[in-house]
Structure 1
Amino acid sequence: MKNLDKLLEKYAKLCVKVGINIKEGQPLVINAPIEGLEFVRLLSKNAYELGASEVYVNWSDEVLTKLKYKNSPMEVFENYPKWKADSLEDFAKRGAGFISISSDDPELLKEMDPKKVAAANKSASIALKEYRKYTMNDINPWLVISIATRSWAKKVFPKLEEEKALKSLWDAIFKATRIDQEDPIKAWEDHMGNLKEKVDFLNNKKIKSLHYTSKNGTDLKVELPIDHIWAGGGSITSSGVPFAPNMPTEEVYTMPDKYGVDGVIYSTKPLNYGGNLIDEFKLYFEKGKVVDFSASVGEEVLKDLFAIDEGAKHLGEVALVPFDSPISNSNIIFMNTLFDENASCHFAFGKAYPTNIKGGEDMTDEELEAHHVNNSLTHVDFMVGDSTTSIVATTLDGKTLQIFKDGNWAF
């Protein structure tokens, strides 16, 4: 336990100092499961030590969430509380940092009414649209992390006793976030430097399109907009403060042309969406839009995702992650997008990050559309990479370049 306490302290310090990079007088908002009480206290202690003016926590509880879905009428899920959205927007306007802890049971809402789940996802997306402009445009620093919880651990390690499963999940989290290293902060600085090398290489190549193929049947061509920007590792707020939005992270990413995706793509890992799993799905694209799809697990959930709005049927993110990466090499299916997306090349349905195109953060919605930047109320990552993934780029001057071969970087 003493060793765990030491690792948790290092983890909290990394999240606040490198992840959010909290500044003197800055508020911090934390979204956390009630099981994370002790860790949230550590985050708060470290934030205050670095000068945070206030730490505000939004708590969630799986038992209460299930009770709500079982007993509350549909109108509750169709109307996201305005005070919640107003609170987040107010903190964003005050320059707050935002930490979200993603650690729910992957199948928390499996037995619940799917119409309630879909309604809740849509109403939250609508209500939080203004708040999300602050995070998706990197106006405010934001960070997504995870902690080990009992319900999640039992799903990841179903053959282990509860305490052993919990310990195994903590060990996996600490390894993926480099907390197990002697100096995690230095390790993160080095890691982000390595990712930046890949970012700089891709930005210098002026890529026009990417062609994905894989032995599972994937054959997809993805056009990239002119003036797209590759990013990865760390980000910088509009006021010039560096931060790391995801811990762990192994990706380098940009945006696709909203109307330039054609072909078929197969998923390679389960997608945890809205407390349900979607697995073994394939998608057919024409002119950027999903025109047909199927899934062995969660097909109705996937259908509800696409029904959120028109933009949900288009892609908003293209992300490259080598198959030979720390999370992938752990051979653990986390059933948590934060981890699984960093073990595999992936895309995202829905809204693109405006920061992935030159001047995008200052464009209106109409200007973004003119540049073929996808807009949506949602943004959902899904995994498509495996050990046979090949990605060939075509540059603006007509040259071809192998980006990925056998699932890994080819340069």
Structure 2
Amino acid sequence: MYSFEQKLENYASLVVEVGANIQKDQVLYVSASIDAQALVRKISDKAYDAGARQVIVDWADDVLTKMRYEKAPADSFSDFPEWKVMERERLAEGGAAFVSIVSQSPDLLKDIDPSRIADAQKASGQALSNYRKMLQADRFSWSVIAAPSPDWAAKMFPELPREEQVPALWEAIFKAVRADVADPVNAWKDLDATLNDKADHLNKKAYRKLHYKAPGTDLTIELPKGHIWCGGGSVNVDGNPFMANMPTEEVFTVPHMSGVNGYVKNTKPLSYGGNIIDDFTLTFTDGKITDVSAGQGAEVLQRLIDTDEGAKRLGEVALVPHASPISESGLLFYNTLFDENASNHLAIGSAYSFCLEGGKTMSSNELEEHGLNQSITHVDFMIGSAEMDIDGILEDGTVEPVFRNGNWAF
């Protein structure tokens, strides 16, 4: 049994050595909530030990974030600071690594006018579109991780006394990222190998389509020619490996933007823009969302889909067995970083260009010609369950099982 301090040390080491994989003289940019101070300091210390030239920290605070949404002029949410765009782009062009630490309360903005949230999301998406393109082409190393906040912990563990909620969430995070084992770095190497084995199998099959069947779901997704299944780690333009998400249990690729037909129902709540969206069904015709229904957060979901034309189509297809560690924990995190790694999921919006042969060097027009969706947003939502079956359809029409009862069929 390891102490909290040892697990925090392990976590910070994983972020620096496996997640961002900091190189000598590299700049590290960290975005984090003030609730994550202890972790940020550990990461910074280990980054400098690894040879980092500088660690830049961009702090956020839920209280100030909500205050702005409540009190700032309505038209201010269409603004995004130009200096922030320049900072991100220039650091990315210079080979910096980026670590984002998510901590936000899932209900932070539940009482806020959805139009303010939509305007802010659209403004940041448009302003950072070039940065996102570089990110989705693996031009630089990046990693998304998490740290608790009191309100997020209270949402997850309402049955516990207040003083026990944050420690409980820390333990859940440590377990999910394998920071609680004797050799976390090798544990991640083993996971990477397992995910790559699944991706290799799917790449050899080169399925033309996937057909999803489950209660509330009957969906066919065409995959573009030359699509690549990825899993675990990525490699940046300098040839350095990194882990974009910690935790991760998925293998994923891109759908053809015009080849999605049928309907799909979510199986876990989606935390988006400080709101919870749940009990929703999306209907697709020739790739485009043509009907939307939701039991909770309907207006927020509709505004997400209306962000731009690309937000009406899919940009990612991801496979995660129901028997994954996060799913088997029985915990609902109300945070996509974790919940997407407990469930098959899809993403509304932009596609990752590295999931297409030659895609990393293609222009936006070339990517679109190959069937990859373009958007200023990318939002994952969970659709998997123990009742989901998925068939792979080969070019000659042969149908093969990929998932049965929520788990791999091979």
Per the normalisation by structure 1, the TM-score is 0.98
- Write the distance in 2 (CA, Å) between the matches of 1:94 and 1:67: 34
**Worse-matched range after superposition: 142-151 or 338-347:** 142-151
SS in 1 for 2:271: strand
- Shift of residue 76, structure 1, vs aligned partner: 1.6
Code of the aligned partner of 1:120: A
Which residue does the alignment assign to 2:189? 189
Which residue does the alignment assign to 1:179? 179
- Shift of residue 6, structure 1, vs aligned partner: 1.3
Per-residue CA deviation, residues 229-278 of structure 1 (Å, 9 max, x unaligned), is 00010111122111100000000000000000000100000001111110
- Shift of residue 66, structure 1, vs aligned partner: 1.1
Code of the aligned partner of 2:275: N
Which residue does the alignment assign to 1:375? 374
- Write the distance in 2 (CA, Å) between the matches of 1:50 and 1:384: 39
SS in 2 for 1:285: strand
1:410 aligns with 2:383: no
- Write the distance in 2 (CA, Å) between the matches of 1:312 and 1:222: 16
Which residue does the alignment assign to 2:260? 261
The answer to whether the 8 Å contact 2:35/2:148 transfers is no
SS in 2 for 1:38: helix
Which residue does the alignment assign to 1:49? 49
Code of the aligned partner of 1:175: K
SS in 1 for 2:208: strand
SS in 1 for 2:204: helix
1:97 aligns with 2:86: no
SS in 1 for 2:239: coil
1:122-201 aligned within 5 A: 122-201=122-201
Which residue does the alignment assign to 1:393? 392
1:220 aligns with 2:219: yes
- Shift of residue 397, structure 1, vs aligned partner: 3.1
1:7 aligns with 2:13: no
Structure 2 residue runs of 5 or longer lacking an equivalent are none
SS in 1 for 2:126: helix
- Write the distance in 2 (CA, Å) between the matches of 1:374 and 1:133: 12
Which residue does the alignment assign to 2:229? 230
- Shift of residue 217, structure 1, vs aligned partner: 2.1
- Write the distance in 1 (CA, Å) between the matches of 2:186 and 2:219: 38
1:279-298 aligned within 5 A: 279-298=278-297
Code of the aligned partner of 1:241: N
- Write the distance in 1 (CA, Å) between the matches of 2:395 and 2:206: 6
- Write the distance in 2 (CA, Å) between the matches of 1:272 and 1:346: 14
- Write the distance in 2 (CA, Å) between the matches of 1:380 and 1:115: 18
- Shift of residue 400, structure 1, vs aligned partner: 1.6
Structure 1 residue ranges, 4+ long, deviating more than 3 angstroms after superposition: none
Which residue does the alignment assign to 1:207? 207
**Worse-matched range after superposition: 290-299 or 69-78:** 69-78
Q: CA RMSD in A?
A: 1.0
- Write the distance in 2 (CA, Å) between the matches of 1:133 and 1:213: 33
Code of the aligned partner of 1:346: H
SS in 2 for 1:296: strand
SS in 2 for 1:381: strand
- Write the distance in 1 (CA, Å) between the matches of 2:133 and 2:221: 26
- Write the distance in 2 (CA, Å) between the matches of 1:400 and 1:163: 53
Code of the aligned partner of 2:10: K
- Write the distance in 2 (CA, Å) between the matches of 1:217 and 1:112: 30
- Write the distance in 2 (CA, Å) between the matches of 1:26 and 1:217: 48
Which residue does the alignment assign to 2:383? 384
The answer to whether the 8 Å contact 2:12/2:46 transfers is yes
- Write the distance in 2 (CA, Å) between the matches of 1:258 and 1:113: 31
Code of the aligned partner of 1:306: I
- Shift of residue 398, structure 1, vs aligned partner: 2.7
- Shift of residue 75, structure 1, vs aligned partner: 2.1
- Write the distance in 1 (CA, Å) between the matches of 2:395 and 2:50: 46
- Shift of residue 37, structure 1, vs aligned partner: 1.1
- Write the distance in 2 (CA, Å) between the matches of 1:334 and 1:263: 28
Code of the aligned partner of 2:176: A
- Write the distance in 2 (CA, Å) between the matches of 1:217 and 1:34: 40
1:31 aligns with 2:31: yes
- Write the distance in 2 (CA, Å) between the matches of 1:217 and 1:270: 15
Which residue does the alignment assign to 2:68? 68
The answer to whether the 8 Å contact 2:19/2:245 transfers is yes
Which residue does the alignment assign to 1:313? 312
Which residue does the alignment assign to 1:343? 342
Per the normalisation by structure 2, the TM-score is 0.99
